Structures are given as C-alpha cells and as structure tokens.
Amino acid sequence: SAKEEGRGGYAFYANFMLERAEGDRLLENDVRDALNSDALSLAYQPIVDARSGAIVGREALLRWNHPQRGAIPPDLFIPVIEDAGLIHQIGDWVLREACTEAATWSDEARVAVNISAAQLGGAGLAKTVFGALASSGLAPGRLELEVTESIFMGDDLSTLGSLEALRSLGVGLVLDDFGKGYSSFGYLSRARFSKIKIDQSFVRAAAAGEREGRAILDGILALARGLGMATTAEGIETEAEAEVMRELGCHQLQGYYFGRPRPAEAVAKEERRAVRRRA
Ligand code: C2E
Ligand code: MG
Ligand code: MG
Ligand code: MG
C-alpha cells in the first residue's frame, strides 16, 4: 500500500542520511559504478500542447536503480552527486543520452533536460551541450535546458554568459519550478528565458478554487506573455486542473494526467502505436 511505501521511503531516507553523515565515499563509489553499468537511466514524461493535446516535448528525468537499494529518487541522490563533485560527469551523460534518444523520435518532440546550478559556471556546460548536439545530430531548437532560480544565487556572471551562448544557438532556456521557493519577478529579466514552468503548488491552489492562487497565476501568465515567454504547467493530475490551466491561457501541460515518466523503450513503442493509428 502507499502507506507502507511511505514508511519504507522514510526508513530508506533516514538510512541514506546516516550514510551521508558517515561519509559519502561509499555512495560516491556506488555512483561511479552506476555510471559504468546500466543502473542510471532516463525516464521521459510527455509535455502536451494545451489546445491540441499533441505531444510537443518530453522531459528527461534521471533514474537510479541501485543494485541493493532499488530505485532512489533524484531529489535524494542529486545533492549527494553535487557534493561528491560528480555532477559534471553525470550531467554530461544525461545530456548526451537525452539528445541521442530524442534524435530517434519520429514525432520530433523537444527534449527538456534538467541542469543543476552546480553544472553551470565556466565554459564547461556550453561545451558539453555543443558536443551532445553534434554527436547526436539533434537540432539545437529541439533541446531545452531547465534551470531553477538557484542559478542566480551565486551571482556568477559567467553562468549567464554560457546560457546566453546556448540561447543564441537556438537552445531553449526554461525557468523551472517558478512560484516555488523564493521566485522573484526580478529573475525573469536576468536571463532570456524562452519558457516558464509553473510549479504544481499554484496549479493545485487554482484548481481548488482558491481566489488568491488563481489571481497570482493570472499575473504570472500575463507577465510571461508580456515578456514573450511561453508557459508550461507542471504536475497536472486531473482534467479539472488541465481545464483551469487551459482557461488561464497556459501553452503547455505536463503531469501524470497526460503520462507518467516512462523508460526510453516505452517511448519508442508509444510512438509506433501513434504512427500506426495515423496510417
Ligand atoms: P522537476 O524538474 O521539477 O521535475 C518534475 C518532477 O515532478 C519529476 O519528479 C516528475 O516525476 C514529477 N511529476 C510529474 N508529473 C507529476 C504529477 O502529475 N504529480 C506529481 N506529484 N509529480 C509529478 P522526479 O522525476 O522525482 O524528479 C525530481 C527532481 O529531480 C526534478 O524536478 C529535477 O529538479 C531533479 N532532476 C531529475 N532529473 C535530473 C537530472 O537529470 N539532472 C538534474 N540536475 N536534476 C534532475
Ligand atoms: Mg524540470
Ligand atoms: Mg519542475
Ligand atoms: Mg523540481
């Protein structure tokens, strides 16, 4: 049951934190092993056009199937990877893998890749992205990079410079989780984002009929329109939530209601089915 899973999850979490306290060495080795085996993989979740329902993109989400511990959620292991200084190596793998997969999609949907703040800075990221695009043959316009406001915390101007270089190449730049944490409208003017992803908490509040939530959402969407940025609503779980976001004029929708994150093989099958249906 979900309750048991929750308890297991908690026990696992406590265990995990204890191990971190004892030293990240073991885990670090596990991550290195994972990189050399097929324990790391990407799951892809569809992003649909709010009006037509057509799949216009897929978000690549990192999965770690630990040989002893089973699936470890990214929110838990990514901070460890960052502390261990392995985020560049893993981030590079994610970018190359996602671009290679997306290049095989016959529907030509975009692929959205999450980039953590620790991956930015210096020329490293731009170089990796150029390399991933070149070796996969994916058109730059089909790649989107999702970053959160945490990239602005360091006040490192070279960060924004490398994002700008990628943007001018045609790569999409997405501000993820907008409305969660300390999101400030000021951030929207500090980089040229092509799209804003609205955090699930707003979607939830607006669909629950909360006037304040809806008013704030209205404001965010108006601002995005004014700045020429597209919008995606995250975490859509019900038709009611989808309907509210459509009414408010959100461009794209993503969430369990439209499809869960699924392994690459499942995406390929889903596509073959879609093609057969069209024929
Ligand atoms: P995110 O980028 O905001 O990704 C969306 C998260 O919401 C995913 O969790 C996804 O599975 C989940 N989600 C999607 N639809 C729904 C829904 O309808 N309801 C609910 N409750 N949740 C939904 P996931 O896969 O556990 O990833 C968590 C976070 O880990 C991501 O948040 C992202 O910040 C980070 N992450 C994942 N993959 C990578 C990666 O390759 N690199 C980096 N740097 N971060 C990653
Ligand atoms: Mg994301
Ligand atoms: Mg998000
Ligand atoms: Mg997130």
232 in Cβ contact with 195 (< 8 Å): yes
| Ligand closest to CA 112 | 2
User: What does the DSSP 8-state code read for residue 199?
Assistant: P
**Which residue minimizes the CA distance to atom 45 of ligand 1?**
114
Cα–Cα distance measured from residue 31 to residue 38, given in angstroms and rounded to the nearest whole number:
11
pLDDT, position 277 = 60
CA–CA separation, 165 and 223 (whole Å): 25
Minimal-distance CA residue to ligand 1 atom 37 = 61
Residues in contact with ligand 1 (CB, 6 Å cut-off): 45, 61-62, 73-75, 78, 94, 114-116, 146, 176-177, 235-237, 255-256, 261
- Which pTM value belongs to this model? 0.90
> Which residue from 271, 220, 230, 229 is spatially nearest to 253, judged by alpha carbons?
230
The secondary structure element, H or E, covering residue 58 is: strand 55-66
Nearest CA to ligand 1 atom 8: 61
270 DSSP assignment: H
ipTM above 0.90, yes or no: yes
Ligand 4: centre distance to CA 261 (Å): 14
Pairing of strands 110-114, 230-233: unpaired
C-beta atoms surrounding 164 within 10 Å: 14
- Cα gap 215→254, rounded to integer Å: 21
**Integer Rg of the chain from CA:** 19
10-residue averages of pLDDT along the chain (279 residues):
46 57 63 82 97 96 89 87 86 96 96 92 84 97 94 73 88 92 78 92 86 88 93 96 95 97 90 63
Counting ligands in written order, the one closest to the CA of 253 is 1
Quote the pLDDT of residue 66: 85
Neighbours of 256 (CB within 10 A): 12
Instruction: Report which bound ligand comes closest to the CA of 74.
Output: 1
How many whole angstroms from 179 Cα to the centroid of ligand 3? 10
Task: State which of 82, 114, 175, 197 you would mutate to test the pocket of ligand 1, scoring each by most atoms of that ligand within 8 A of its C-beta.
Answer: 114
Distance from Cα 278 to the centre of ligand 2, integer Å: 30
